[in-house]
Structure 1
Amino acid sequence: MKYWMVLWLLIATVTTAAPRSQGQSGEFDFYVLSLSWSPTFCLTHPGNEQCSGKGYGFVLHGLWPQYARGGWPASCTPQTHLSEAEMDKGAVLFPTRALLKHEWAKHGTCSGLPPLEYLAKTDVALGAVVIPQQLQPFNTPPSLQAKEIEALFRESNPRMGNHGMAVICKGQVLSEVRVCLTKDLAFAGCPRSVKSQCRGGDIRIPTQR
């Protein structure tokens, strides 16, 4: 009995001490461009600087390296801090500097690119996806179905395939859309791991804040 207890303690100690692998920087299969619907975020974060009456609609959440088999690398080493010049570049893309720093540390470090190149790639990815006119700030209907949101994006982005994006909800409220892109930022079909997460029926689309 004592033998098994000692063995269990040794295994537990090794398991606890060994760091969990977060993936290798630069080793991934495709990107997800995540665009957050700012009014929904602001419902639960009214004090955030993103929510200071700027009238945002979709804003950049991040450009995420992903694995085709599912999952993603995260917080890859080495963890480098952004310089002031890099922060200034990123501040043009992200709604807040706090989000920029978080996204670089968690996702950007896994791209295999130095910060300015990753930010430049993010800028290109943003430019590659056209937001439908019906989902522009101050022009949105109060509700749509997830399939209708997908159809609007496909109509505005003819090269996007039938399975090139996912709509994400919090309950019955639009939270974000995720667009699958190749490593060269062409539209790509999303694997099963990237799929819409909304209930059936109409999805509420909060007004701009």
Structure 2
Amino acid sequence: MKLISISFLSKLLILQYLSIQCLSDDFDFFYFVQQWPGAYCDTKHSCCYPKTGKPIADFSIHGLWPNYKDGSWPSNCDPDSTFDKSQISDLIKNMEKHWPSLSCPSSNGFRFWSHEWEKHGTCAESELDQHEYFETALKLKEKVNLLQILKNAGIEPNDEFYSIDNISEAIKEATGFTPGIECNRDSARNSQIYQVYMCVDTSGSNLIECPLLPKSRCGDQIQFPKF
């Protein structure tokens, strides 16, 4: 009986150590991810507009995700740190505009934001508290105005096809950094611009060159669908 108790205590101590170790590991950079709603909605999953109505035709925030340089990432780092909308009450109107949820069923965004905070934001608490996390993403959205950048390069959301190299180069020329571009495929199997990844330092303030870019799964020519 005594041996069993010691064994159980040892396992408990090991689990506590691993838990603390996980929480104390610093991440290396953020992925700041914006998505094009026209591509999100033009898939077999379709989409549902939020309760506030159809979002504006602009790239919207998907998330601000801590990552490691080896390609892995931390997630759900603090189960005790739950999403609290009262902490971001001054940001909600801006978030409804720039960080809407397009998943079904239609929602007010709280479920989406809660997921982003609890899965990703809690892993950045050493740098950003809950309010700072969402505010930082909104500021990055303002800094990286993808739609305007692409329009300035003659690349419009008009269902036309554009060279992925031209899209990437336009973003790099405007921001100074190479983006990661992720595509989806519509029902006709057309490759479409879906998400754009920019890398940000751990303070959330400065764009940096990506240590690692996500796999694009894009063709050479990709569609920029209307929304």
Amino acid aligned to 2:142: G
Output the TM-score relative to the length of structure 1.
Answer: 0.75
2:210 pairs with 1:190: yes
Describe the SS at the equivalent of 2:225.
coil
Q: 1:165 aligns with which of 179, 196, 201?
A: 179
Distance in 2 separating the partners of 1:84 and 1:103: 13
Q: Is 2:161 the partner of 1:148?
A: no
**How far apart are 1:29 and its partner, in Å?**
0.6
Give yes or no for contact 2:36–2:195 (8 Å, CA) kept in 1: yes
Q: In the TM superposition, what are the counterparts of 1:94-109 in structure 2 within 5 Å? A: 94-96=99-101, 97=109, 98-109=111-122
Per-residue deviation, residues 185-207 of structure 1 (Å, max 9, x unmatched): 22211123x23513332111210
User: Which residue does 2:39 correspond to in 1?
Assistant: 40
Stretch of structure 1 that moved more, 23-32 or 61-70: 23-32
Match of 1:3 in 2: none
Output one character per residue of 1:84-140: Cα deviation in whole Å (capped at 9) or x when no partner.
32353453232131321111111011101321121222222223213242646x942
* Corresponding position: 1:200 with 2:215: no
1:155 maps to a residue whose letter is E
* Structure 1 residues without counterparts, runs of 5 or longer: 1-13
Q: Per-residue deviation at 1:60?
A: 0.2
3-state SS of paired residue (2:64): strand
Structure 1 residues 126, 119: CA separation in 2 closer, same or farther (over 3 Å shift)?
A: same
The CA deviation string for residues 139-165 of structure 1, in whole angstroms up to 9 with x for no partner, is 4242212211111212322xx23xx32
2:58–2:147 Cα contact (<8 Å) kept: no
What TM-score do the two structures reach when normalised by structure 2?
0.70
Tell me how far apart the structure 1 counterparts of residues 56 and 86 of structure 2 sit (CA, whole Å).
27
Say if 1:30 and 1:180, in contact at 8 Å, map to a contact too.
Answer: yes
Identity %: 24
Unmatched segments (≥5 aa) in structure 2: 1-10, 102-108, 186-190
